[in-house]
Amino acid sequence: MTSLRFLKIYKSSSVGECKINLSQGLESLPESLVYFYWHEHPLKCLPSNFTPENLVELSMPQSQNLAKLKGINLSYSEQLI
């Protein structure tokens, strides 16, 4: 997946949990990734070593409750919509 730019993981409307196997976890996703969408992301956080250098959009609708989230740092982020 070295040249992967678009990744969309979507849970269908059928009952049950989404099952996906990333053998090396999110760390294996390439730096070329520009768009990352994960419907109902099952984890409470993204790994600290997940460094998508070229990511333009991160979308995680209906993911885990981030009740303990105290802030988001978007320092030096330009042209956010």
For residue 57, the one-letter residue type is E
26 CB neighbour count, 10 Å cutoff? 17
Burial (0-12, 13-18, 19+ Cβ within 10 Å), 40: middle
Q: Which two tokens stand for residue 45?
A: 């956080």
Which pLDDT band holds residue 15 (cuts at 50, 70, 90)?
low
Residues 6+ apart with CB under 8 A from 76: none
Q: Give the pLDDT confidence of 20-33 residue by residue, as tens digits.
A: 777 777 777 788 88
Q: Give the pLDDT confidence of 30-74 residue by residue, as tens digits.
A: 888 899 888 877 777 777 777 778 888 888 887 776 667 677 677
Q: Where are the domains of the chain?
A: 1-12+23-66
**Does 18 score more than 80 pLDDT?**
no
